[in-house]
A and B are shown apart, each in its own frame.
Chain A
Amino acid sequence: MVTLLASILFTGTAYAMVLYITAVGLSVTMGLLGIANLAHGAFAMAGGYLMLLFIGKSGMPFGAALVAACIAVGLVSVLLERLLYSRLYAAPELDQVVMSVGLIYVSVAGAQFFFGPLPHSLQLPAYFQGQPTILGNFSFPVYRLFLIGFGLATFLVLLMGIERTMLGARIRATVDNRIMAQAVGINTRRLFTTVFALGSVLAALGGGLGADMMALTPDYALAHLVYFLIVVAVGGLGSVRGPFFAALLLGIGDSACRILAPQAGAFFVYAALFLLLLVRPHGLFGRA
């Protein structure tokens, strides 16, 4: 019983960290840019596949591949923001949704063309492969311990960054009131590009680190989209703190469902979500 609970908590927390890293990027870009970027998962997928490429083809070490993948995705995202997204900031929601769906289709087709339809997962380096046994007969894979640590670190860095730095202050100001922020001299256009790139890099980070738990398939952007959206909607748009707790709830709840009632799939997760949004339409941590 204790082992079962520990297992649920541990797996759930590691999963939650991956969800958080990817979804917080979405939360910040959506909160600031006001754009329904449903293709966010495509950036995560790109990060994962690029790491696969860098490690497999050019034999880069794990850490270097992660950094390289993040930089590559960040550069592409700047290009996409300037070419596509920036034209739709003031457009109706429908246009934004349709463009995201178009991007998702392109990403699915592209991934299938280059990497085939079968799921891939990353080859972890030797130092991540251990499973020390703590707590009686239950063993914790080292890599998942690392994920939990990394997720926590990301959370703290983002929190400090948003609350203590100038960039963070600018972002908060612009989320609250774009026109006022512009009036006091913030270059919102450049800020938008920066934040979009930041969100995409976070997605790539989550996609690359999480490939162990969320296998890379061509339909990655679609398969995980609803979970990213849940984290953002429950955590509150534009927030860094809310999604962290939302991701924890979702990650642990989802693992509990999968381990305790595997037949029901994600049924209880969706049911809980419905009840939650019925009571609090703006999420647990969101502002009305």
Chain B
Amino acid sequence: MTDRDSAIDRLVGTRRLRPIEALPWVIAIAAYFLLPQYLQLGTQILYTILYALSLDLLLGYTGIVTLGHAAYFGTGAYTAGLLAVAGWHEPITGLLLAMAVSGLLGLLSGAVILRTQGLALLMLGMAVTLLLYEAANNQNAITGGADGLQGVEIARVFGLFAFDMYGRVTYLYALGVLFLAWLLMRAIVHAPFGRSLVGIRQNPTRMLSIGVSVYRRRLVAFTIAASLAGLAGGLAAQTNQFVSLDALSFDMSGTAVLILVLGGPGRLYGAFIGATILMVAQDTLSKDDPIFWMFWLGLFVIALVLFVRGGALGLLDAGMSRLRKLRGAP
């Protein structure tokens, strides 16, 4: 087989679903039956995965380092929340609108942000988030300001399933949305468009010289990522039936980056692993002492950057290849 054939084979091969890719979904469904008392946390993990997954398209695939992704999550959350408060209780159209509004914001802000790079890009991303944070904080009458947006009532999903107090419907609803979004993300990153994003990350100049409009592709990626973050935000607003100002905070932006670094960026599943680890750790450790949590999280992250590049999945890869080498040796 020639090199060319094997390269094509490898590219096509990654698009095929492997059995291991069913694992997150098996775990998620098993958790539904085995851990009924943790369904609320489970729902939070599901929308956080979706949120981190949306950032992976920028950070991991396209190589856009931003600390302002909360802007789109928060916009989606407030869109879905405000729709429900205003009397539009139907959840699925609510989510679609949240996606649309966040996507539009992503397109507009991305058109400016992506003209810059490095430091200026980081700063503009943060400035967008801060701008929205201040706006949400000031418009008490509409957003509830620092108290958060209350009274988010959601109608039955498909007109059939009401959100129950045990969080069963909520969990399955979030799981369904995440599954669809994952299918979409998977299709995008394995499509020629997704491969060109990786090319842009690796060498923008070369992509430009082979005739790719780098700016336009980055902007499309930014818009998709923003609308998926909006979807995650809308899901958060609907499942919590509440929107807090934290949705637009720096912490929210930072969390997504940390999750990807923890799980492994540019891997599609880094978001799943990172979000689960971070949320479970936060739930058990930060309850009693948030300051303690923040301190150790900070130290842990520094150690991670210095010693373990590529996150959990990177570690797994390194372990696997070492194992293979051991087995290969006589």
Interface residues of A (CB under 8 A from B): 30, 36, 38, 84, 87-88, 91, 93-95, 97-99, 101-110, 112-113, 222, 225-226, 229-230, 232-233, 237, 263, 265-267, 270, 273-274, 277-278, 281-283
Task: Judge whether B291 and A109 touch: CB under 8 Å.
Answer: yes
6 contacts between A and B (CB under 8 A): A88-B306, A101-B67, A101-B298, A102-B299, A109-B292, A267-B135
Task: Judge whether A106 and B295 touch: CB under 8 Å.
Answer: yes
Given that A108-B294, A226-B130 are contacting pairs, would A98 and B301 also be in contact in the complex, using a CB cutoff of 8 Å?
A: yes
Given that A98-B301, A267-B131, A277-B112 are contacting pairs, would A232 and B67 also be in contact in the complex, using a CB cutoff of 8 Å?
A: no
Given that A265-B134, A266-B130, A277-B112 are contacting pairs, would A233 and B120 also be in contact in the complex, using a CB cutoff of 8 Å?
A: yes
Expressed in whole angstroms, the Cα–Cα distance for A278 and B134 within the complex equals 22
Note all chain B residues with C-beta closer than 8 A to A270.
127, 130-131
For window 122-149 of B, CB contacts with A under 8 Å fall at: 122-124, 126-127, 130-131, 134-135, 138
Q: Give the residue of A36, A109, A274 whose beta carbon is less than 8 angstroms from that of B122.
A: A36
Task: Judge whether B120 and A277 touch: CB under 8 Å.
Answer: yes
Note all chain A residues with C-beta closer than 8 A to B297.
102, 105
3 A-B pairs with least C-beta separation: A105-B298, A102-B301, A109-B295
Q: Give the residue of B112, B258, B265, B291 whose beta carbon is less than 8 angstroms from that of A101.
A: B258
Task: Judge whether A97 and B131 touch: CB under 8 Å.
Answer: no
Expressed in whole angstroms, the Cα–Cα distance for A36 and B305 within the complex equals 14
Given that A109-B298, A226-B130 are contacting pairs, would A94 and B65 also be in contact in the complex, using a CB cutoff of 8 Å?
A: yes
Max count, chain A CB within 10 A of own CB: residue among B116, B120, B258, B291:
B120
A34 to chain B, nearest CB (A): 9
- Cβ of B250 under 8 Å from chain A: yes
Task: Judge whether B115 and A106 touch: CB under 8 Å.
Answer: no
A215 to chain B, nearest CB (A): 18
Given that A229-B122, A265-B134 are contacting pairs, would A98 and B305 also be in contact in the complex, using a CB cutoff of 8 Å?
A: yes
* Chain B interface helix/strand/loop/mixed: helix
B55 to chain A, nearest CB (A): 11
Interface residues of B (CB under 8 A from A): 59, 65, 67, 112, 115-116, 118-120, 122-124, 126-127, 130-131, 134-135, 138, 250, 254, 257-258, 261, 265, 291-292, 294-295, 297-302, 304-306, 309
Task: Judge whether A105 and B134 touch: CB under 8 Å.
Answer: no
Task: Judge whether B127 and A102 touch: CB under 8 Å.
Answer: no
Q: Can you add 18 more A-B contacts, CB < 8 Å, to A88-B305, A94-B65, A106-B298?
A: A38-B67, A38-B122, A91-B305, A98-B301, A98-B304, A99-B305, A99-B306, A105-B295, A105-B297, A105-B298, A109-B292, A109-B295, A230-B123, A232-B119, A266-B134, A270-B130, A277-B112, A281-B116
Expressed in whole angstroms, the Cα–Cα distance for A37 and B304 within the complex equals 17
A56 to chain B, nearest CB (A): 22
Note all chain A residues with C-beta closer than 8 A to B300.
102
Task: Judge whether A101 and B294 touch: CB under 8 Å.
Answer: no
Task: Judge whether B261 and A94 touch: CB under 8 Å.
Answer: yes
The residue on B at minimum CB distance from A113 is B291
Expressed in whole angstroms, the Cα–Cα distance for A263 and B135 within the complex equals 10
Task: Judge whether A101 and B254 touch: CB under 8 Å.
Answer: yes
Note all chain A residues with C-beta closer than 8 A to B126.
225-226, 229
Note all chain B residues with C-beta closer than 8 A to A104.
298
Q: Give the residue of B123, B134, B291 whose beta carbon is less than 8 angstroms from that of A267.
A: B134
Note all chain A residues with C-beta closer than 8 A to B304.
98
Q: Give the residue of A97, A112, A225, A229 whose beta carbon is less than 8 angstroms from that of B65.
A: A97
Q: Give the residue of B123, B295, B305 whose beta carbon is less than 8 angstroms from that of A113.
A: B295
Given that A97-B122, A109-B292, A265-B134 are contacting pairs, would A281 and B115 also be in contact in the complex, using a CB cutoff of 8 Å?
A: yes
Given that A97-B65, A266-B134 are contacting pairs, would A105 and B123 also be in contact in the complex, using a CB cutoff of 8 Å?
A: no
Expressed in whole angstroms, the Cα–Cα distance for A104 and B297 within the complex equals 11
Expressed in whole angstroms, the Cα–Cα distance for A267 and B124 within the complex equals 13
Note all chain A residues with C-beta closer than 8 A to B295.
105-106, 109-110, 113
Expressed in whole angstroms, the Cα–Cα distance for A36 and B265 within the complex equals 19
Task: Judge whether B306 and A84 touch: CB under 8 Å.
Answer: yes
Task: Judge whether B265 and A94 touch: CB under 8 Å.
Answer: yes
Note all chain A residues with C-beta closer than 8 A to B138.
263, 265
Max count, chain A CB within 10 A of own CB: residue among B67, B115, B122, B305:
B305
Expressed in whole angstroms, the Cα–Cα distance for A107 and B297 within the complex equals 12
